[in-house]
Amino acid sequence: MKAGFFALWQQQSWEHQLLQSRSYTLAQAREALGKARLNLQDFQALISPAAEPLLPQLAAKAQQLTRQRFGCTQQLFAPLYLSNLCANECSYCGFSMSQKVKRRVLNAAEVEIECLALRKSGIDQVLIVTGEHERKVGMPYFRQMLPLIRRHFSSLMLEVQPLSETDYCELRKLGVDAVMVYQETYQQNAYQRYHLKGQKADIGWRLDCPDRLGRAGIDKIGLGVLFGLADWRTDASFLAMHLLYLQQHYWQSRYSLSVPRIRPCSGGIEVPYPLSDKHLVQLICAFRLLSPSLEISLSTRERAELRDQLVPIAITSSSAGSSTRPGGYAVDPEALEQFSIDDSRSPALYKQRLQQLGLAPVSKDWESYLGR
C-alpha cells in the first residue's frame, strides 16, 4: 500500500491534540484572526474556547473571504439515493446491516425515473449515495448506472464505500466529478466502537481513501466528520490536518467539507459529544479562514432557520428538496430514510429564499467533458 495520511495519523496522539485544542489564549486567537495565511495552530486557536468572544469578528471575516472567493452565489445539489443495502454495522446509522428494514437497490428503469423527477425540480448537480455493499452495489453496479445518470446532470458527486485507486480512475472516466468520503471520526477508539463490522471497521483503508482519490485525479475530494461521535475540537483539528496534508500532496484537486451532526435515525444512539449551534458556526468560520478556497456544504439535516443564517456567512453549496430514501423522489416516496431531514423546502422555494438573502442560486457550474 502506498504511503498516505494513515501513516501520518498513526504518529499523532489524540490526547495531545485534545489538550492542545484547549490551550490557546484570547491573544493567540486574536493573532490568528488577523493573519492572511493560517497554519494548523492558528486554526486550533480559532476553534478554542478562548476564541468564543471573537465569534462576531470571525464570522465577519469568514463572510468577507467567502464573498471574495465565491461571489454572491450558492451552488445547489440534491442527493440521489440508489440503495440502502449495507454490509457495515454503524451504530448511529439507519442503514446498518442489523436494522430490520426493507432493503432496496434501484434498477436502471427506477434510476431513470428518479433522475427525471430531480431534473424536473431544477436540480442539475447530484450526489449519488448508497449504503456500503461491495458485493451487490459495487463497481459492476456503478458501471451500469453512472452513464445513465450522467446524461441528465452537469455534475456527479459520489458518496459510496471507499474504493481502490484503479476503481476511482475508472469512475472518473465514467463521469464522476467528486467523491465524498467522510471519516466520521479520527479517534481510533470511538471509530472502532461505532463501526462494528464490515470493511468500514478498517480505519486505515478509510483514512487513506482521499490519497487514492488524489492519485486518481478526481477533481473534487469531499472530507468530513460526523460531529457528535467524539470531541469536536479534536476531530476538527485532525480534519484540518488532513486537509492541509491533501492540499500539499494533490494540488490539482478541489476540496469540499461537510459538517454533518448526528441526526436521529431508526434504532439510533444517544449523541455523546453534541456540537452546539454556536460551536458549529465557530467551526465553519475557522475552516473558511484556514482555506478560503474550500467548498463548504450544508445539508438539509440542519433546520431551515439555521441554514438561512449560516449559508450567507461561509457556505458555498447546499442541498434542497432532499430525500434520503432510495426511490424517494418518485419511485417509492414511502421507503425508509437514512436519517431524518429538517429542512424540507423544495428547490424552488429554497432558490427564492437564497435570492432574498442576496445570493444567486447556481444550478450548473460544470460540464461533463471536464476532468475526464
Partner 1 sequence: MLTLDGVQLNSALLLGTGKFASADQLVAAVQASGTELVTLAMKRLDLQHRSDDILAPLQQLGIRLLPNTSGAKTASEAVFAAELAREALGTNWLKLEIHPDPRYLLPDPIETLQAARELVKRDFVVLPYCPADPVLCKRLEEAGCAAVMPLGAPIGSNQGLQTLAMLEIIIEQARVPVIIDAGLGAPSHACQALELGASAVLVNTAIASAADPVAMATGFRLACEAGVYARHSGLATRCTQAQASSPLTHFLETL
- The residue ranges that bind partner 1 (CB under 8 A) are 67-73, 119, 122, 124, 154, 219, 247, 251-254, 293, 355, 358-367, 369-371
Structure letter (DSSP) for residue 228: T
For residue 273, give every residue at least 6 positions away whose Cβ sits within 8 Å of its Cβ, in sequence order, or none.
227, 228, 229, 230, 231, 232
Q: Which is nearer to partner 1, 71 or 267 (CB)?
A: 71
- Closest to partner 1 by CB, 57 or 154: 154
Say if residue 5 is exposed, middle or buried (CB neighbours under 10 Å; 0-12, 13-18, 19+).
buried
CB 13, CB 250: distance < 8 Å? no
Compare residues 123 and 275 and give the one whose CB is closer to partner 1.
123
Q: Residue 328 and residue 334: Cα distance in Å, rounded?
A: 7
Q: Which is nearer to partner 1, 95 or 287 (CB)?
A: 287
Shortest spacing between CB 92 and partner 1, in angstroms: 32
Read off φ and ψ for residue 126, nearest 5 degrees: -120, 150
Q: Minimal distance in Å, beta carbon 253 to partner 1?
A: 7
Nearer to partner 1, 187 or 297 (CB): 297
29 sits in which H/E element = helix 26-34
- Tell the burial category of 91 from Cβ atoms under 10 Å away from its Cβ (0-12, 13-18, 19+): middle
Q: How far is the CB of 15 from partner 1 (least distance, A)?
A: 32
Amino acid 218 reads I
Residues in the chain: 372
Q: CB of 72: closest distance to partner 1 in angstroms? A: 4
List Cα–Cα distances, 128 to 121, 217, 296, in angstroms: 17, 19, 18
Query: Nearest distance from residue 223's CB to partner 1, in Å?
Result: 15
Tell me whether residue 102 or residue 151 sits nearer to partner 1 (CB atom).
Answer: 151
Nearest-approach distance from CB 359 to partner 1, in angstroms: 6
Whole-angstrom CA distances from 226 to 90, 204, 257, 313, 341 are 12, 17, 11, 21, 15
Max Cα distance, the chain (Å) = 60
Smallest gap, in angstroms, from Cβ of residue 80 to partner 1? Answer: 17
For residue 90, the minimal CB distance to partner 1 (Å) is 32
Q: What residues have CB less than 8 Å from 107, skipping those under 6 apart?
A: none
- Other residues' Cβ atoms within 10 Å of the Cβ of residue 237: 24
| 266 versus 363: smaller Cβ distance to partner 1 | 363
CB 274 within 8 A of CB 228: yes
> Smallest distance from the beta carbon of 96 to partner 1, in angstroms?
35
Tell the smallest beta-carbon distance from residue 354 to partner 1 (Å). Answer: 10
Q: In terms of CB distance, is 67 or 136 closer to partner 1?
A: 67
Q: Please say which residue, 41 or 73, places its beta carbon nearer to partner 1.
A: 73
Smallest Cα–Cα separation from 195: which of 85, 90, 338?
90
For residue 16, which of 174, 218, 233 has the smallest C-alpha distance?
233
For partner 1, the closer of residues 202 and 367 by Cβ is 367
Task: Please give the Cα distance from 90 to 194 (Å, whole number).
Answer: 5
Q: How far, in Å, are 31, 36, 61, 140 from residue 68 at the CA level? A: 22, 14, 11, 43
